[in-house]
Amino acid sequence: MQTNDPITLLFAPRARPPLILAPMAGVTDAPFRALASRFGADLTVSEMIASQALIRGVGKSFKLGERAGPESVLAVQIAGADPAAMVQAACMQVERGAGIIDINMGCPVKKIVGTGAGAALLRDEVLAGRIMESVVRAAAVPVTVKIRLGWDDQHRNGIAMARIAEAAGIRAITVHGRTRAQMYSGMADWEAIAEIKSRVTIPVIGNGDVTTPEQAREWWKKSGVDGIMIGRAALGRPWIFREIAHFLETGQRAEPLTLAQRQAVIVEHFHAMMRHHGQRTGHLLARKHLGWFTRGFPNGAALRDQINHTPHPEEVLVLLERFFAGLVTERAA
């Protein structure tokens, strides 16, 4: 039977689990999501958008959930602690083209938790359930939720939260294998993710510390998760999706990108950032991506220093050109 349902399509049986770009505030804007999609991400998720800001009509909030172009499905993540506001925010995003609404119940930062949103909802299962039910009922598209394992080691309620989600009609749940108290320290606990996976029937997406194709395969096999979400490892390396997909499908490592291909991606993304955000803002926001893209290269630090000190985008392009020409010469020598 043909379906347009994005969750059914995402988890349709195939040789490997879908690979998903994690929502990352300040990172997964439309240009970066487009890049990840181009390199094989099966789904990408917008940055977290505060429901209240969206309702107040703060312009920047709309920008965060803009479509990335070639992406087939726009998944928009919303955050908040008031069911009515979350419903309103979800409906606004659906009207603007969202095909999936993701609810943030994992953000650990004080500014968010202090308002009762993000990971704070792990401490209020009743309210979390009401938010999920309300958004599911109101949104005309599938609703997913992203959680952590619990607030802290004494309060690991990931299984309870997943069951609440399932009962509320949530279509898939992402589990970042850390507690809120851990923030980003230690390693993600994939055994705990596996345990949650085994207790619900809706798809579970595992998340946390996946950085290599081999690790993706090992944790996927061990945990049985239905999907894998990748965040930090995609910074400066959006082709990781293609690398992992290739490895899971063939058992072989994909050919690495050539220097020329990497240069082309970096330059193209720089232009895309300026087109999307406007020249000035795009240039400034692109600096951190340029930093990630040039990590690990000899003389990368000097290049980053120069890039961060020029106010002229044309000069950035010249610096990149010179940098890559130098690398080619060095490799040939």
Q: Catalytic residues, which ones?
A: 107
Q: Is 25 in the site for ligand FMN (CB under 6 A)?
A: yes
Q: Is 106 in the site for ligand FMN (CB under 6 A)?
A: yes
| Contact between 256 and 246 (Cβ < 8 Å) | no
Q: Is 48 in the site for ligand FMN (CB under 6 A)?
A: yes
Q: What are residue 173's DSSP bridge partners?
A: 145, 204
Nearest in space to 14 (alpha carbons), one of 171, 172, 220: 220
Rule CB under 6 A: choose which of 7, 10, 19, 27 binds ligand FMN.
27
Rule CB under 6 A: choose which of 19, 41, 87, 210 binds ligand FMN.
210
Q: Is 18 in the site for ligand FMN (CB under 6 A)?
A: no
Question: Two tokens at 57?
Answer: 């009509």
Stretch that binds ligand FMN, among 155-163, 198-206, 230-238, 295-303 (CB under 6 A): 230-238
Cβ closer to ligand FMN: 88 or 207? 207
Question: Two tokens at 243?
Answer: 């690398």
Strands (E), the chain: 19-21, 43-50, 75-79, 100-105, 143-150, 172-179, 204-207, 227-230
The Cα diameter of the chain in Å comes to 65
- Please, what is the end-to-end C-alpha distance for the chain in angstroms? 58
Residue with tokens 């589990």: 175
- Considering only residues 248 through 267, tell me which ones interact with ligand FMN, judged by CB under 6 A: none
Q: Is 289 in the site for ligand FMN (CB under 6 A)?
A: no
Element (H, E) at 102: strand 100-105
- The residue number with the shortest CB distance to ligand FMN is 231
Q: Is 107 in the site for ligand FMN (CB under 6 A)?
A: yes
Rule CB under 6 A: choose which of 7, 10, 19, 22 binds ligand FMN.
22
Residues interacting with ligand FMN, by CB under 6 A? 22-27, 47-48, 77, 104, 106-107, 146, 176, 207-210, 230-233
